[in-house]
């Protein structure tokens, strides 16, 4: 396991109507995080636009882009200038009629086009009120991955993936030292008073549990602010659905392998979170809490069944 310390940066940001302006803002925030010392940085899920999956609208497939494409081209310039690794969550157009929710991992040391080290396609796709992702995204077909980057072994999982211990475990078993969870999650305003606090607590607890169970660092990065899902395409505003929209709860955080919070953002403000992490702590934690050693891999066959009657 690598013993080189690294500095994680998470970009908690709000998104406006204009995708081009969001991309410019993201690039500026990444550069700012790098100049604060971060060399391993992650943006929120689908940062190029307001969260458009609040409704089913065929016109919004125009937001999708190829990888490499316009966003990786814009961001790779910052990656090269600042000599960093960046996780960027994008709406990928893979082929006509085939789209994914994809994280591109850009690395200044990667020699491919736009410095793309690799990609991860979101595996678990939700379908809930105001989260109609199955309309837009095909489930990932690349499996869970740990990529070797200039900043060590990096694993990326996306939003709905964060609720599945199997995803974090497999990614960790493949060598990831840091798990990033770019996210777009928030409250239905009508539910916030009754359910808001426990919903956020469950989200935070689940990802801290991934850190503890696997002995890895976790970076969970969310968007912030109220969004109606308004998007400008070719100069025309496509308004979101009637109703209250979503209030994204922010609360981005970085946790160490013991589950301790190293940095945390508020529920309401944009933020750049910075934390130094040392992969040696993962080994020390795993020595004292040897969950990987004591796993009964001979007894877990049922995990691949939908349900055990």
The reply to whether 122 belongs to the active site is yes
Residue 111, Cβ neighbours under 10 Å: how many?
Answer: 8
Task: Choose, from 159, 227, 247, 264, the residue flagged as catalytic.
Answer: 159
> Do residues 91 and 48 make contact, with C-beta atoms less than 8 angstroms apart?
yes
Q: Give the Cα-Cα-Cα angle 117, 120, 125 (nearest 5 degrees).
A: 165
The reply to whether 177 belongs to the active site is no
> Do residues 242 and 199 make contact, with C-beta atoms less than 8 angstroms apart?
no
Residue 159, Cβ neighbours under 10 Å: how many?
Answer: 24
Burial label for 269, CB within 10 Å (0-12, 13-18, 19+), is exposed
Q: In which region does residue 21 sit, left (phi positive, over 0), alpha (psi from -120 to 50) or beta (all else)?
A: alpha
Rounded to 10 degrees, what is the CA torsion of 179, 184, 189, 192? 0
Q: In which region does residue 33 sit, left (phi positive, over 0), alpha (psi from -120 to 50) or beta (all else)?
A: alpha
User: Any idea what DSSP says for residue 286?
Assistant: H
Look at residues 133, 49, 55 and name the one whose alpha carbon lies nearest to residue 99: 133
Task: Choose, from 42, 45, 82, 177, the residue flagged as catalytic.
Answer: 45
The reply to whether 92 belongs to the active site is no
Look at residues 260, 186, 171, 173 and name the one whose alpha carbon lies nearest to residue 222: 186
User: No. of H helices and E strands in the chain?
Assistant: 5, 19
- Catalytic residues, which ones? 45, 122, 159
């Amino acid at each position: 396991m690598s013993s080189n310390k690294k500095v994680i940066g998470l970009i908690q940001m709000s998104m406006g109507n204009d995708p081009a302006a969001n991309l410019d803002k993201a690039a500026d925030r990444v550069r700012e995080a790098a100049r604060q010392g971060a060399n391993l940085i992650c943006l929120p899920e689908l940062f190029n636009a307001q969260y458009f999956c609040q409704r089913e609208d065929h016109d919004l497939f125009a937001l999708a882009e190829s990888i490499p494409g316009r966003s990786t081209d814009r961001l790779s310039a910052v990656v090269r200038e600042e000599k960093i690794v960046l996780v960027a969550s994008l709406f990928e157009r893979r082929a006509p009629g085939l789209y994914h929710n994809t994280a591109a991992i850009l690395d200044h040391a990667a020699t491919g086009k736009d410095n793309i080290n690799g990609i991860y396609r979101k595996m678990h796709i939700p379908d809930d009120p105001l989260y109609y992702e199955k309309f837009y995204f095909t489930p990932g077909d690349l499996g869970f991955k740990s990529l070797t980057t200039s900043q060590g072994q990096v694993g990326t999982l996306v939003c709905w993936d964060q609720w599945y211990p199997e995803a974090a475990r497999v990614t960790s078993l493949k060598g990831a030292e840091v798990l990033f969870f770019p996210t777009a999650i928030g409250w239905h305003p009508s539910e916030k008073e009754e359910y808001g606090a426990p919903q956020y607590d469950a989200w935070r607890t689940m990802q801290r549990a991934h850190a503890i169970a696997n002995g890895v660092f976790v970076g969970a990065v969310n968007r912030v602010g109220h969004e109606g899902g308004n998007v400008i395409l070719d100069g025309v505003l496509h308004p979101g659905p009637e109703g209250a929209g979503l209030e994204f709860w922010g609360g981005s955080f970085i946790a160490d392998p013991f589950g301790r919070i190293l940095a945390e953002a508020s529920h309401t403000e944009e933020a750049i979170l910075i934390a130094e992490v040392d992969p040696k702590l993962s080994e020390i934690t795993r020595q004292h809490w040897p969950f990987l050693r004591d796993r009964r891999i001979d007894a877990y066959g049922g995990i691949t069944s939908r349900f055990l009657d």
